[in-house]
Structure 1
Amino acid sequence: MDLPFLGNWRKRHAPAVGVTVISAGDGSPTAADLADLFSTCEQLRALVAEAGVRLDGSPASLEALDQLLPRWRDDAETVSWLGIDAGLYLGTVIVRTMPGAAWELWPNGHPVVRLASGREIVVVEAGHAWAEEGVPELSQLYAEVAEG
């Protein structure tokens, strides 16, 4: 949908750089609820599918993401949502493959991955760095987290 006023608004406002989860109910979302929510990454999946990359939740899929040509870097809006989705996908791979890793929300609603060791990984920030600069590579960050 083309809304002309959005173009002007976007020029005056910085792109979004994070994600916040707000619970509508009286209880906080469970780790399983968060895992389901954050694993969708629909925009990222659609973008990489065009390049023939399938995101299957494996560390190898992070390597495939790292190999993509970064054609999105000329578009600040794309970089913004791609950074969020890439970070959430990185977190999804960590949670699915590392025993004891789980999604948590900081008090401000910002999602992080907590490892069994107690270390917190701010995956959305890592996703933004990857989308903007290509470093750290998602597969490299995963390997560093896996080593301990």
Structure 2
Amino acid sequence: MNIPFLDNWRRRHGRPSVAVLPSEVDPDGVAELLSECELLRSQAAAAGLELDDSARSLEALDQLLPRWRDDPEELPWLGNDAGLYLGTMIVRTVPGAAWQVWPNGKPVIRLASGREIDVVGAGLDWAATGAPELSQMYAEASEG
């Protein structure tokens, strides 16, 4: 995964600075890492929105004026964070949902039904075009 704060997080938590296989990482550590979403949180705060890990915060994100689209360098990072935030919300609130890291390092959400959701891909699409809405993706995941 190419997440800019990853090396700092790994140093803070005593993790190696190279990618490790999912079997070597505890699920709580992965969830903590993926929930940081620093860029998204700072953009939301600048717009007067506090991301409180609620479904309401996803709805509020969907309503933000997408100023990040003016910056082609920032857009993919913000989209990545949006997807990770969405995934974090699903894992914390949908029974049986968990992070799954594919062999290529891509994080997805696996629902209790076995369905996998590419939340990072959804976040990138949301950042670039506004669709799918994060709140809609969350609602669909909540239904199973």
Give the TM bin, normalised by the shorter chain. Answer: 0.7 to 0.9
Q: CA deviation at 1:23?
A: 1.4
Whole-angstrom distance in 2 between the partners of 1:89 and 1:146: 15
Equivalent residue, structure 2, for 1:118: 114
> Which residue of the other structure, out of 72, 77, 81, is the alignment partner of 1:81?
77
Equivalent residue, structure 1, for 2:58: 62
Q: Moved runs in structure 1, 4+ residues, more than 3 A?
A: 18-21
Amino acid at match of 1:73: R
Equivalent residue, structure 2, for 1:35: 31
Structure 1: gaps spanning 5 or more residues: 1-17
Q: CA deviation at 1:92?
A: 0.3
> Which residue of the other structure, out of 43, 47, 50, is the alignment partner of 1:51?
47
Whole-angstrom distance in 2 between the partners of 1:30 and 1:100: 17
Amino acid at match of 2:19: I
Structure showing greater relative contact order (alpha-carbon pairs closer than 8 Å, 6 or more residues apart): 1
Q: CA deviation at 1:19?
A: 4.1
Normalising by structure 1, report the TM-score.
0.82
CA contact (8 A) 1:19 1:111 kept: no
1:109-148 aligned at under 5 Å gives the runs 109-148=105-144
CA contact (8 A) 2:83 2:120 kept: yes
User: What RMSD in Å do the two structures reach over aligned CA positions?
Assistant: 1.8
Any idea what the Cα deviations from partners look like across 1:47-85, whole Å, max 9, x if unmatched? Answer: 110111111111111001001001111111111100100
Normalising by structure 2, report the TM-score.
0.84
Whole-angstrom distance in 1 between the partners of 2:97 and 2:52: 18
Amino acid at match of 2:68: W
Question: How many equivalent pairs are there?
Answer: 130
1:98-117 aligned at under 5 Å gives the runs 98-117=94-113
CA contact (8 A) 2:94 2:141 kept: no
Q: Which of 1 and 2 has greater Rg?
A: 1
Structure 2: gaps spanning 5 or more residues: 4-17
Q: Percent identity?
A: 62
